[in-house]
Chain A
Amino acid sequence: MSDLAISTLQTQVKPERSAVGSLRIVQTASILVIALVIVSPLFMLFVASLKDDRFQILADMGSFRAFWVSNPTLSNFAEVGNLSGELAFGRYLLNSLIILASTVGAGLIVNSMAGFVLAWGSLRGRALILSLVIALYVIPQESIIMPLVIMVSRAGMTDTFAVQIVPWIASPLYIFLFYQFFAQLPKELFEAAQMDGASVFRIYRSIFLPLSLPALATVSILMGIETWNQYLWPILVTQTDYARPIAVAIATFFGQDSIYWDRAMAASVLMMIPILALYLAFQRWFVSSFVGSAVKG
């Protein structure tokens, strides 16, 4: 190849390379900005929870000092980590964990069973029920909350754990998620199990449920976050500390006269830990579930 030809080729290639380089810089910068926007409040929260002066926390909020602590202390955590007493945040955390575990545990069983029956059961009017389930999904929770409050008060369920668990176990969204997952499993698996002598419940329990780890992980995380962040419902149905969750308890730091930023920050950090642990435990299947659904359409 002649020198002229090579130089012509180089001039054609160079602008393309520089365009790719610029694109990468823009991409990296964009990712950094997004990461900063997401991570900085969390970091600020964690730093503030280690400061013992609530007025200092408020003063630092408008500057970079919000991201720095010179004398870190765990005293806020010690104050809010009690299981009894005025600041029994350990107790509230435990309440939230009981509600979370019960709702998610029961929710996985009930919603997966419903999804399985809709996908594989010999139920008359399956299509109609499925349409109703999808239609129910678009109704916002807040719109049914007052009738629900009246129902649970008449049933004498207020101020209990049950009232915070039972109404939220079955969910149209999670039934539909399980339905979609089960429906895409091959028909032959169901039929092979039938030929092997399995009942419909046994097929669900021994074949389909063990194969639905991605769906179980997805529903666990989504349902866990939803349950953990419940605020309006517990305020309406709890009057005492007996079954009150941590999300409601934290709000008590934000009084009319003063705000206890130090304790609120420590309690918020405590509140984040279980849900982060849940996500980290299931994230592998959670991500694969979303990737799988994208690939399979």
Chain B
Amino acid sequence: MASVTIEQVRKQYGAVPVIHGVSMDIEDGEFVTLVGPSGCGKSTLLRMLAGLEDISAGEIRIGGRLVNDVAPKERDIAMVFQSYALYPHMTVAENMGFALKLKGEGKVAIEKRVREAADILALGPLLDRLPKQLSGGQRQRVAMGRAIVRHPQVFLFDEPLSNLDAKLRVTMRAEIKDLHQRLKTTTVYVTHDQIEAMTMADRIVVMRGGKVEQIGKPLELYDRPANTFVATFIGSPAMNLFDGAIADGQFVTNDGVWLPMPADYRGAMAEVYGIRPEHLTIAENGAPATVVVVEPTGSETHVLVKLGSADANLVLRDRVDLQPGQPVHVAPNLPKLHLFSAQGTRVN
């Protein structure tokens, strides 16, 4: 196990910069998720950490050792790929033991380590099978087995669950988290799925356009997003944002809808009013709105309403009898309000 330090790391392809000076510290044994939309640079950053991409500028340290010019095999890290990247002509046991064989470990030692990893991941009965004889979930477990058998200092996961169906993804998510809790190996996990990031990580790094938008614990990011990008990226359904301005102690949207403000922030320079769907409720004294779509999920009800010309999502824990076109009044839970400047930066 080891800490990872990334300091002012930049990456350019020719004249095109893709990573613009990213810095972060990952503690020993921590599970950190890099999350962001496609093309934000999260996989490139992971590949630079793995040594599969050159670093244009900055420093990467693993366990205090500068690894900028160290080959992947010398970094003592293991990576699980999105496509699993299992060797098709080798059995599960051979796939898992390949790295140890290259290290020059003895046959008995390799068998012992492979057996240990197989027991952790319940792969024992599959050791003699070829990858093509396995299901997607089993292949993913073999890919993880190949990583853990080496006892590396750092695990890297590059969108490992993207090729699995929704149900299996939930199961594997729990398995990876459980594995980390047992092994306590420092883990960097890349995903574009914010649910994966929220449920698995000790800390989340939200990236956009090759820059870090915010680093924090999952609930910190959820409760206090640093900007409108993080506010809308973390959480599903996304946070409702209304453009407007503060006037007479209230927030007036560009459509002329009046929304209440807490007394403390009436003087703030806020031009974006944010409220999460579960913090917006139906109330008699709220702002007038019209129901557009009602989506009961069983445990909760998602309601899309029109607030002026803007869409607003509500997540209601109670079962409600609402019809499309029905006029309602909606009110925010004021302590849960998020206010942002015109540039999208948090002001409260």
Instruction: State the A residues within 8 Å of B (CB).
Output: 186, 188-189, 191-198, 202, 206-207, 210-211
Asked if A189 meets B85 with Cβ closer than 8 Å, knowing A194-B52, A197-B102, A197-B103, the reply is: yes
Asked if A192 meets B102 with Cβ closer than 8 Å, knowing A197-B73, A198-B73, the reply is: no
Give A191 to B80 CA distance when docked, in angstroms: 11
Residues of A within 8 A of B83 (CB): 186, 188
Task: Verify A195–B89 contact, CB threshold 8 A.
Answer: no
Residues of B within 8 A of A196 (CB): 73, 98-99, 102, 146, 150
Give A202 to B99 CA distance when docked, in angstroms: 12
Interface of A, secondary structure class, is helix
Task: Verify A211–B79 contact, CB threshold 8 A.
Answer: no
Q: Does B77 contact A (CB under 8 A)?
A: yes
Residue of B nearest to A189 (CB): B85
Q: Does B72 contact A (CB under 8 A)?
A: yes
Q: Does B78 contact A (CB under 8 A)?
A: yes
Task: Verify B102–A202 contact, CB threshold 8 A.
Answer: yes
Across the interface, A195 reaches (CB within 8 A) one of B50, B82, B86, namely: B50
B48 CB to nearest A CB, Å: 13
Q: Does B229 contact A (CB under 8 A)?
A: no
Task: Verify B89–A211 contact, CB threshold 8 A.
Answer: yes
Q: Does B81 contact A (CB under 8 A)?
A: yes
In the A-B complex, list the 10 residue pairs whose CB atoms are closest, starting with the nearest.
A188-B85, A197-B73, A192-B85, A196-B99, A197-B102, A188-B81, A210-B89, A194-B72, A195-B79, A188-B83
Residues of B78-105 at the interface with A, using a CB-CB cut-off of 8 Å, are 78-79, 81-83, 85-89, 98-99, 102-103
Residue of A nearest to B158 (CB): A188
Residue of B nearest to A196 (CB): B99
Give A198 to B50 CA distance when docked, in angstroms: 14
Asked if A207 meets B72 with Cβ closer than 8 Å, knowing A191-B52, A192-B79, A197-B99, the reply is: no
| Other A-B pairs, 14, CB within 8 Å; known A192-B85, A194-B73, A198-B102 | A188-B82, A188-B83, A191-B85, A192-B87, A193-B98, A194-B52, A195-B72, A195-B77, A195-B79, A195-B99, A196-B99, A197-B99, A202-B102, A211-B89
B296 CB to nearest A CB, Å: 42
B13 CB to nearest A CB, Å: 16
Among A186, A194, A197, A210, chain B packs the most CB atoms within 10 A around the CB of: A197
B207 CB to nearest A CB, Å: 21
Residues of A within 8 A of B81 (CB): 188, 191-192
A69 CB to nearest B CB, Å: 49
A211 CB to nearest B CB, Å: 6
Task: Verify B87–A207 contact, CB threshold 8 A.
Answer: yes
Give A198 to B103 CA distance when docked, in angstroms: 9
Give A275 to B177 CA distance when docked, in angstroms: 58
Residues of A within 8 A of B71 (CB): 194
B231 CB to nearest A CB, Å: 34
Residues of A within 8 A of B103 (CB): 197
Residues of A within 8 A of B78 (CB): 195
Can you name 22 A-B residue pairings with CB atoms under 8 Å? A188-B81, A188-B85, A189-B85, A191-B50, A191-B52, A191-B81, A191-B85, A192-B85, A192-B87, A192-B146, A194-B51, A194-B52, A195-B52, A195-B73, A196-B73, A196-B98, A196-B102, A197-B73, A198-B98, A198-B102, A207-B87, A211-B88
